[in-house]
């Protein structure tokens, strides 16, 4: 992640911060960053990943819409989709869902409450089939909250923190 941060900074990204080794970045950049980040990763590391960038507001909205806010951070997972799904295979989701699991979809974010662990969840491993035609990346609630804490403070009218 240090090398990725350095490559982004050398290319004009500002205030780049990383969190754990799974590609979580917080930064300032004028314009849509996905293509540029993908190009930099391919140039510097030899592979071309799918990149999803969320604005601070999108991340805040996803956290605020979490229907499982009372559950522990590692049991709740946010599945960020590249777009709102045209089709949702609800029958498959219910077939795969463990009795203890719950899920919900709000716009471009699917939420999964998996109290028995994400590694045991058949639904988690098949989310791409529940939302066909979308690309998905997932983060647990703890990671989302850590990323929220790395964002600059929101400012209201007159530049005051809100």
What percent of the chain clears pLDDT 90, i.e. is strictly above it? 85
pLDDT, tens digit (0-9, with 9 covering 90-100), for 30-69: 888 999 999 999 999 999 999 999 999 999 999 999 999 9
* pLDDT score for 161: 45
Q: Which two tokens stand for residue 133?
A: 């035609």
Which residue carries 């996905």 as its tokens?
34
125 contacts: CB under 8 Å, gap ≥ 6: none
The 3-state DSSP class for residue 58 equals helix
**Phi, psi angle pair for 79, to nearest 5°:** -105, 105
Q: Which two tokens stand for residue 43?
A: 């140039």
Any idea which architecture 56-149 has in CATH? 2-Layer Sandwich (3.30)
Provide DSSP, 15-54. Answer: EEEEETTTTEEEEE-SS--HHHHHHHHHHHHS--------
Give dist(CA 90, CA 44) in Å, integer: 40
User: Where are the chain's structural domains?
Assistant: 2-52, 56-149
Give dist(CA 103, CA 81) in Å, integer: 14
pLDDT band, residue 132 (cuts 50/70/90): very high
pLDDT, tens digit (0-9, with 9 covering 90-100), for 74-112: 999 999 999 999 999 999 999 999 999 999 999 999 999
pLDDT band, residue 159 (cuts 50/70/90): very low
Whether 14 has a pLDDT exceeding 60, the answer reads: yes
């Amino acid at each position: 992640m240090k090398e990725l941060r350095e490559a982004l900074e050398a290319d004009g990204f500002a205030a780049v911060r990383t969190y754990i080794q799974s590609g979580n970045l917080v930064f300032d950049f004028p314009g849509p960053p996905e293509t540029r980040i993908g190009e930099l990763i391919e140039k510097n590391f030899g592979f071309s990943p799918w990149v999803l960038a969320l604005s601070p507001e999108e991340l805040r909205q996803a956290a605020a819409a979490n229907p499982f806010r009372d559950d522990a951070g590692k049991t709740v997972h946010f599945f960020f989709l590249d777009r709102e799904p045209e089709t949702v295979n609800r029958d498959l989701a219910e077939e795969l869902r463990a009795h203890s699991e719950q899920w919900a979809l709000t716009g471009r974010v699917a939420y999964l409450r998996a109290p028995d662990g994400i590694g045991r969840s058949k639904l988690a491993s098949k989310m791409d089939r529940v939302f066909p035609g979308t690309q998905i990346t997932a983060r647990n609630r703890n990671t989302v909250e850590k990323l929220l804490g790395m964002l600059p403070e929101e400012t209201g009218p007159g530049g005051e923190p809100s």
